[in-house]
Amino acid sequence: ESITNFLNDEFKTHSQKVLVNLASNEYWKSVQPKKINAKVINVAFKEIKDGKARIIAIFAKKARGMMTDFIVRNRVETVDGLKDFNYENYKFDASASNENSFVFTRPQPKPVKN
């Protein structure tokens, strides 16, 4: 609950109250999303293989870091600005997304052979 309280205190100083959730599911469990006084945008990164999109943890972890970098470097200040994220072939998938959940997909990379 202390994380939720901290976030709510932070939102008191912001005109746009939006939280972009780039946390892993494990860390997100320490937040109480329903008690957050802001719009929460959940972000998922999926790999497409054989026509099916799925989350692969190791790729998703890297993608969350890349999106954080994208937000900071490009000074993204709007929700729509998140949709421009395109690192390592990820693209915003409008058909799989909604107002509170943004999904980015890409073809699953082939395994690297040593």
What is the residue extent of each domain of the chain? 2-107
pLDDT of residue 99: 95
Does 70 have pLDDT greater than 90? yes
CA 50 – CA 67 distance, rounded (Å): 25
Does 74 have pLDDT greater than 90? yes
Q: How many CB atoms lie within 10 A of CB 77?
A: 10
Average per-residue pLDDT for the chain: 93
Residue 27 corresponds to which amino acid? Y
What's the Rg (C-alpha) of the chain?
Answer: 15
How much is the average pLDDT of 48-63? 95
* Residue 63, C-beta contacts closer than 8 angstroms, at least 6 positions apart: 45, 87, 88, 90, 104
Does 1 have pLDDT greater than 90? no
How much is the average pLDDT of 68-95? 96
How much is the average pLDDT of 26-32? 89
CA 44 – CA 56 distance, rounded (Å): 10
The reply to whether the predicted model has a pTM over 0.75 is: yes
Does 111 have pLDDT greater than 80? no
CA 95 – CA 101 distance, rounded (Å): 11
Confidence of residue 98 (pLDDT cuts 50, 70, 90): very high
pLDDT of residue 105: 98
